[in-house]
Structure 1
Amino acid sequence: MSEEHKGILLESGTNELEVIVFEVGVGTFGINVMKVREIIQPMDVTIMPHAHPNVEGVIRLRDEIIPVINLAKALGFKDSKNPGQDKLIVTELNQVKAAFHVHSVSRIHRISWEQIEKPNKLSQGLQDLTIGVIKMDENMILLLDYEKVVYDIMPEAGLSSKKLEGIEQRDRSKKKLLIAEDSPILRQLLKDILNEAGYVQIVFTDDGKEAWTYLKEESRAEIDLLITDIEMPLMDGHHLTRKVKEDPQLKELPIIIFSSLITGDLFHKGERVGADAQISKPEIGKLVEELDKLLQVE
């Protein structure tokens, strides 16, 4: 995906995203363009001993070794009926590169986060892996929790309390955090690890719109700092940050963007909307250090 193409979306700041639509088995899925480095034809893989059953092997792509994840197997679908149409979607998530083996790639749709609904029991039995549903005409496109797919295969790529090593013991118990994060597994990991660090007063919301409603309806004085993901249904983290920083009652609230999408272009967008800090998942140690700094924890 070219930087020029990515730039088209970044300039708008209108709570929109572009989604690459692809098929696996009987399902239609989407992935945010910003997570995709390129789409390539399948390559010969080198099989790795003792690999996770969902990993086909690894490929060498411009001197990088990248694991290939069989998305059909991860989702419980059968292999491709037309292997000639198969593609590899090469992604970068949480500073980890991975190639998802899919059965075909159709097109790119530009949509608003408001068009993305939360998953329900109709999500083809994949609600545990689905973070959003896009209803387009007669089609239903599922947005998967790609971080969870990778985390299940490579736990070391996710959040871990090991990353708290070197963090000083301080009294963090009096500070109250609001966290907007749509991934259930990441909400639980964040809760466990931040609690371990001493941040025990945490309110979680599933998306940016819910966080915005909470801030407007609850007492602003309750919350000392907002942590937000970027990719979320209904309202993304950039849009949420901009709304908070433009609100006379909320503009002094410190905001940390904590996302797998802190790339060069998106970092600049985070600066433009007024984020006080931006940290790439899974750097939980850096997150705690930045929390301590912004909250002046002694």
Structure 2
Amino acid sequence: MNQQKGILLESGTNELELVEFGVGTNKFGINVIKVKEIIQPVDVTLVPHSHPHVEGIIELRGEILPVVNVARALNSEPMPQTRASKFIVTEFNKQKMVFHVDSVTQIHRISWNEIEKPSHMYQGLESHITGVIKLNGDMILLLDFEKIVVDISPEYGVSVEKVKKLGERERSEKKLVVAEDSPLLRKLLQETLNEAGFINLEFFENGQDALNFLLSLIQEGKAIEDEIQLVITDIEMAQMDGHHLTKRIKETANLEKLPVVIFSSLITNDLLHKGQMVGANAQVSKPEIGELVAKIDQYIL
């Protein structure tokens, strides 16, 4: 799996690779970047009073990792474990977790613009789905793993409490553009940025919509520096990812000086150079909202 990672997210190409896996009758996908390895299920140690979605813990190469049953997290009845069952070992949001799935089939290399926004009728799964890929006659659902983690452990989410210690602040004259595909994260970001004094926010579900908005301001003859002070973007988004959005901003006349802060669960030492290559002014790992606010202040004040 590690060999796959060198070709991913190359300087904002707007491409990714997905690991396809099955849970019940549904096919799902997870970004290869989040996957450390895929292993056969091993014995799990039960933890008393743990969250219902957590099967227990395992030891893997000296680390103690929680095991999340994805079927339970999706409010489905777990299927009996078979030889096809797999443990997907992941790392994002600066933490490692294991996800128990019914099967892992293959890896697909696709463009973010092939990923469509989910409708509100995906068998009650819409709150857990960030995108849909039509591939070889099948529907692969892009699962919101960050939401699963926050449902289990809210402390891993973006929290208003983390910025309240900043005290009362006046930032109403500053306008920010935020590109984030997760409805949960958009809501949490709005609450926390409002608490930090930023009330003039323009949210978009993907990088393409955010870029179209910025380009429309130029077409209207408006000075970007008077309209928008900074862009915050996730990396993983349908239609256009955050690396490609950053690259487009930095390569576009009248936009290139606009500060861009990447705020993503994929900010790791191995991936920092990707954001640097496309010209990001700063990169902050979710859910470090206090650090994000500090970076915003640094670039707009």
- TM-score for the superposition, normalised by structure 2: 0.94
Query: What are the superposed Cα offsets for residues 15-58 of structure 1, whole Å, 9 maximum, x if unpaired?
Result: 10000000000100000001111111111111111111111111
Q: Aligned pair 1:197/2:196, yes or no?
A: yes
Instruction: Report the Cα offset of residue 144 of structure 1.
Output: 1.0
**Aligned with residue 240 of structure 2, among 231, 235, 242:** 235
Contact 2:164/2:195, CA 8 A, preserved across alignment: no
- Once the two structures are superposed, the pairs formed by residues 105-184 of structure 1 within 5 Å of their partners are 105-164=104-163, 166-167=165-166, 169-184=168-183
Q: Which residue of 1 aligns with 2:92?
A: 93
The letter of the residue matching 2:16 is L
Q: How big is the alpha-carbon RMSD for the aligned residues of Structure 1 and Structure 2?
A: 1.4
Give the aligned partner of residue 251 of structure 1.
256
* Correspondence 1:279 to 2:284: yes
Distance 1:58 1:81 in 2: 19
Which SS does the other structure have where 2:270 is aligned?
Answer: helix
In structure 1, distance between residues paired with 2:33 and 2:138: 23
Kept in 2: contact 1:80–1:86 (CA 8 A): no
Aligned residue in 2 for 1:225: 230
**Runs of 4+ that moved beyond 4 A:** none
User: Relative to structure 2, which stretch is displaced further, 264-273 or 26-35?
Assistant: 264-273
- The CA distance in 2 between the partners of 1:116 and 1:10, in whole Å, is 15
Q: Structure 2 counterpart of 1:106, which letter? A: T
- Gapped regions of structure 1 (runs ≥ 5): none
* 1:210 match: 209
Q: Which residue of 2 aligns with 1:291?
A: 296
CA distance in 2 between counterparts of 1:170 and 1:126 reads 38
Give the Cα separation in 1 of the matches to 2:194 and 2:123.
34
Once residues 59 and 132 of structure 2 are traced to their aligned partners in structure 1, the CA distance between those partners, rounded to angstroms, is 33
2: CA distance, partners of 1:81 / 1:106: 18
118-127 or 183-192, which deviates more:
118-127
8 A Cα contact 2:8 2:33, kept in partner = no
Q: Structure 1 length as normaliser, TM-score?
A: 0.95
Partners of 2:39 and 2:132 in 1: CA distance? 26
Q: In 2, Cα distance between the equivalents of 1:240 and 1:231? A: 11
1:214 Cα deviation from its structure 2 partner: 0.7
Whole-angstrom CA distance in 2 between matches of 1:82 and 1:283: 37
Q: 2: distance between equivalents of 1:283 and 1:252?
A: 25
* Shift of residue 164, structure 1, vs aligned partner: 2.2
Deviation at 1:81, TM superposition (A): 4.4
Alignment-mate amino acid for residue 231 of structure 2: L
Please name the residue that 1:19 is paired with. 18
Structure 2: stretches of 5+ with no match in the other structure: none
The structural deviation recorded for 1:10 is: 3.6
CA–CA distance in structure 2, aligned partners of residues 21 and 117 of structure 1? 16
Amino acid at match of 1:275: A
SS in 2 for 1:163: helix
How many residues were matched structurally?
295
2: CA distance between counterparts of 1:213 and 1:202?
Answer: 16
Aligned-residue offset at 1:12: 5.9
- Is 1:96–1:157's contact at 8 Å kept on the other side of the alignment? no
